[in-house]
Structures are given as structure tokens and as C-alpha cells.
Chain A
Amino acid sequence: MTTVLNLNGARLTALEDAELAARVAQDIPDGAYVNLGIGKPTHVSAYVPEGREVIYHSENGILGVGPTPPEGEEDLELIDASKRYVTAAPGAAYFEHSDSFAMMRGGHIDIAVLGAYQVAETGDLANWATLDEKFPPAVGGAMDLVVGVPRILVMMRHVNHDGTPKLLKRCTYPLTGLGVVSRVYTDLAVLDVTPGGFRVVELTKGNSLEDVQAVTEAKLLT
């Protein structure tokens, strides 16, 4: 079920979170080692098509994250990076933190799916700190992931709650990494980061390029 957004005078069709997660999941290939960032990206695993074996890495020391355990069967010492109770899938392994980040930084993970505050047309990513100094900054593993994982997929709302754009010419928030994003999935469109800027891969059904451009600061290429 999509929803209709009224933004800057335009009516746009927006994917719900579950639909967005399902869309990202289509692009996760069989056999991939994947790190899902905290928050919305964790839902992607539920939608990976049947028949694909994907191995999920969680920074806190597990490769082969399995589904949520049934209620009452949680192991309090088996959690993922979002601090949710998980299970170990067949073929899973546990390891300590410096090994876990060697996997991330060392180029061993194929794909990471992350949330973002802002993405620039250069592929710069801002997802760890805002300009609000009262709010303590929290970086976690995001900076390590973006330098080490060859394919960084961003999954986010196309605009902020107040309608201001998140797809920018240059990020205004502190950067997580420079030129690191490969593709952005939003509720309104899917965009590739190319040397020339954001190229439209697809628009959510019902949206025109003009309407999506109207809520995007960066120039959209086709």
C-alpha cells in the first residue's frame, strides 16, 4: 500500500517502509555477505526472495544472523547491532570485535544497507550526527562500513518530515564518508550515484520526474 504525499504543491506516491524494504531486498543477490544498518534496514532480510542464501553480518560479532526467536526462547546474549534478539542461522560464526571490523573494513562484506540523514550527488553520506549540539553524536560502525564495503545502499525517506530535501548537492551535516554511496532507495524513487550525479533508475509508480525533481535539491539525471 503506497501513500500519497502532498509536497511543495505536488502530489507524490510514496512507498511504505515495508514496500521500501522489499524493493531493496530485490537487489540482494544469492550468496552475498550483507550488513544491515540499525533501524529500517534491518527489515530488508524479511523480504529477500525465496531461494537466495544471503549471509547477514552484524558488527557485534555474528556472521549468519537468523530470524527473531519465538517469544520465551530468546538468548539474552544473542543480539544484533540493533540490540534485538536474533538466532544463529545454519553456518553461522561468532567472533570478537576487531575481527568483526576486519570483515567490514577489509572489504570482505559485499553490501551494506544504511539509513541516512543526507546523501550528496557526489555519493557523500551523512548519517551519524546532526548540527544539534545538545544531542550527543553517536557514530557506531557506520564510518568503518562505508570505507570497507564496496557497495553501499542507502534506504531512506526522500525528504525530511518538514518537506526539506535529503538528496543534496552537498551535505550540510557532518559526513560519515566521502563518495561512498552506490545507490539510494527512497519512498519516491531509486537513484544511482554516477560521476555526473544522481541518475534515476526508477520512479515509484505514479510519480513523474518533474514532481520528484521538485523535492530534490540535486539535479536528477535520466
Chain B
Amino acid sequence: MDKTVTDLESAVAPIPDGASVMIGGFGSSGIPFGLIDALLAQGATGLTVISNNAGAGETGIAKLLKAGRVAKVICSYPRSPGSIWFEKRYEAGEVALEVVPQGTLAERIRAAGAGLGGFLTPTGYGTLLAEGKETRIIDGRGYVLEAPLPADFALLRADRGDRWGNLSFHATARNFNPVMAMASKHAVAEVRQLSDTPLDPERVVTPGIFVQSVVEYGVRP
């Protein structure tokens, strides 16, 4: 088994127009900048981007928004210092937005990857973000039924990977990457270092079964 691909271009080649794409990262940490640049060059458009943030400055997801490739963003926190491209597209009505509480976003993604039909959470109960959703009272407390959130593709950033697709992470760059690997049909991981030898099984955070391709991209932003 060898899941490695030689370059970023080949790694993102299968992503078609209209695909739903999860993109790992929180703030500027754990974002697959190399894969995002390759996706921009590849040209796929009409994308649904699922990520915690909606990019900042002229990097990462902001590049896709600037180029008009994103039809919808599903995220918890679209505003960041310098999230000008999201704000421009949003104000102009050119991008749809679904705001999801951050823990619910992570758990919806995890549920999709774990084969669950959804879950009941107290988060958001009685608020605007629960409007129209099924609710239940359990032991006197209100819960909202949340649906799983799968995606066609996931673009991930990891620290190290091996040819089996096993991944390990560095510091807070882990964030959404492991759950997104689980929830997508095709997860592509950009790794700082592709290891010639198998990763120590004790140190594997994302087991290779969740990852379809691995590409080395040594630049740490």
C-alpha cells in the first residue's frame, strides 16, 4: 500500500466543480496552505467549504473566496482580523453562510465519520441557531438534534505522515484535521515531512484508514 502522491497538483486533481471540501485549521494553525494554493490553480469552482474560519488576509481560504470559487461556507467563526474577502463576498450576496457552533461543527463532522445519524446537544437550545430543528427534553434539560456533516473531500495539514496514510500533528495544528479525515470520502493530507519509515504506532493520531493520499509539503507557514 502506498498513499503518497508526488505533488500537490496531483493530490487535488480529483476535486470537481461543486464539491464539498473540508479544510482543516484554526486561525493560521493547521491550515493546508499548499493544497489550497493547488486547488486554486486547479480551478474547481462552486465549492462548499467547511472549515472553522473563512480565511484572513490574502492567504488560504481567503484566496478561494477572492477568486470567486466558493458558493457556500459552513463555519463557526467567519470573522477574523483581516477576513476581508469573506466579508466582501458575503456583503455582495455572492457566498452563502451557515454558522454552526464550533463544538457542534466538530461533532457533526465526527458523527459523519463515525457512521452516526446525528446527536442531541444542549448547545444552542433556545437560540436562533436551533430554530427549525427538532428538540427533546431529557431529564429536564433541552437538547437540539444535530445532523451529521459529511464532505466529498478533506484537505488536511499534518506534521508527519507515512505511506500508509498515518498522520501525526504538531501542537495546536491538530484541531479539526483528525475529524475531517474521518468524515470525507477522500482525505488528502499535506505533511511537513513524509517519513520513509512507518510512524511509531503509539504516536499516530489519525490512523491511515481515514486518509486517501499524502503529499509532502515541507514549508511550514
Judge: A and B partners, yes or no. yes
> Which of A's residues lie within 8 Å of B, judged by CB?
58-62, 75-80, 83, 88, 94-98, 100-101, 104-105, 129, 134, 136-144, 147-148, 174-178
B110-146 contacts to A, CB under 8 A, are: 110, 121-129
A57 to chain B, nearest CB (A): 12
A58, A97, A141 pick with most chain B CB within 10 angstroms: A97
- Segment 27-46 of B: residues with Cβ below 8 Å from A: 27-30
Chain A residues with CB under 8 Å of B205's CB are 96
What is the CB-to-nearest-CB distance from B107 to chain A, in angstroms, rounded to a whole number?
6
14 cross-chain CB contacts under 8 A: A61-B175, A77-B171, A88-B171, A95-B174, A96-B177, A98-B179, A105-B103, A139-B102, A140-B76, A140-B77, A143-B103, A144-B102, A147-B123, A178-B127
Does B203 sit at the interface, judged by CB under 8 A?
Answer: no
The 6 A-B residue pairs with the shortest CB-CB distance, nearest first, are A101-B103, A144-B103, A83-B27, A97-B106, A77-B173, A78-B171
Identify which of B80, B91, B102, B127 contacts A175 (C-beta below 8 A). B127
A136 touches B90 (CB 8 A): yes
Q: Assess the B127–A101 pair: CB atoms within 8 A.
A: no
Assess A77 versus B91: contact at CB under 8 Å? Given A96-B205, A101-B103, A144-B104: no
| Known contacts A96-B176, A139-B129, A174-B128; A147 and B122 CB within 8 A of each other | yes
8 Å CB interface, B65-104 against A:
76-81, 86-87, 90-91, 97, 99-104
Q: A134-B91, A148-B123, A177-B127 are in contact. List 15 more A-B contacts (CB 8 A).
A: A76-B28, A77-B170, A77-B220, A78-B172, A96-B178, A98-B107, A136-B79, A137-B99, A138-B77, A140-B76, A141-B101, A142-B101, A143-B123, A144-B104, A148-B122
Chain B nearest Cβ from A191, distance in angstroms: 23
**Chain B residues in 8 Å Cβ range of A144:** 101-104, 123
Find the A residue at minimum CB distance from B173.
A77
Task: Using known A-B contacts A62-B171, A76-B220, determine if residue A101 contacts B79 with beta carbons closer than 8 Å.
Answer: no
Q: Do B78 and A138 touch across chains, with their CB atoms under 8 A apart?
A: yes
Residue B217, interface by CB 8 Å: no
What B residues does A105 contact at CB under 8 A? 103, 121-123
What are the residues of chain B within 8 A of A141 when measuring CB–CB? 76, 101-103
Whether B153 sits at the interface, judged by CB under 8 Å, is no
* Of A61, A137, A139, most B-chain CB atoms within 10 Å: A139
Residue B210 interfacial (CB < 8 Å): no
* Shortest distance from the beta carbon of A73 to any chain B beta carbon, whole Å: 13
In the bound complex, do residue B102 and residue A59 qualify as a contact, i.e. CB atoms below 8 Å apart?
yes
Residue B201 lies at the interface, judged by CB distance under 8 Å to chain A: no
* A80 partner residues in chain B, CB cutoff 8 A: 172
Interface set of B (CB-CB < 8 Å, partner A): 26-30, 52, 76-81, 86-87, 90-91, 97, 99-104, 106-107, 109-110, 121-129, 169-179, 205, 220-221
Pair A77/B172 contact, Cβ less than 8 Å: yes
* Beta-carbon contact of A138 and B127 below 8 Å: no
B172 lies within 8 A of A101 (CB):
no
Task: A104 to B175: give the CA distance in the assembly, Å.
Answer: 15
Residue numbers in A under 8 Å from B122 (CB-CB): 105, 147-148
CB-based contact B179/A147 at 8 Å: no
The answer to whether B102 touches A140, judged by C-beta atoms less than 8 angstroms apart, is yes
Which residues of chain A are near B126, meaning CB under 8 Å? 175, 177-178
Per a CB cutoff under 8 Å, which of B78, B87, B179, B221 touches A97? B179
Residues in A neighbouring B30, C-beta threshold 8 A: 77
Contact of A104 with B171 in the complex, beta carbons under 8 Å: no
The chain B residue sitting closest to A124, CB to CB, is B126
Chain A residues whose C-beta falls within 8 Å of the C-beta of B176 in the assembled complex: 96-97
Give, as a whole number of angstroms, the nearest-CB distance from A102 to chain B. 8
Contact of B29 with A79 in the complex, beta carbons under 8 Å: yes
Q: Is the CB of B99 within 8 A of A139?
A: yes
By CB atoms of chain A within 10 A, which of B99, B109, B123 has the most? B123
Using A60-B175, A76-B220, A97-B106 as known contacts, say yes or no to A139 and B125 having CB atoms under 8 A apart: no
Contact A58 B129 (CB under 8 A): no
Give the chain B neighbours of A78 by CB distance below 8 A.
Answer: 29, 171-172
The CA-CA distance from A62 to B121 in the complex, in Å, is: 23
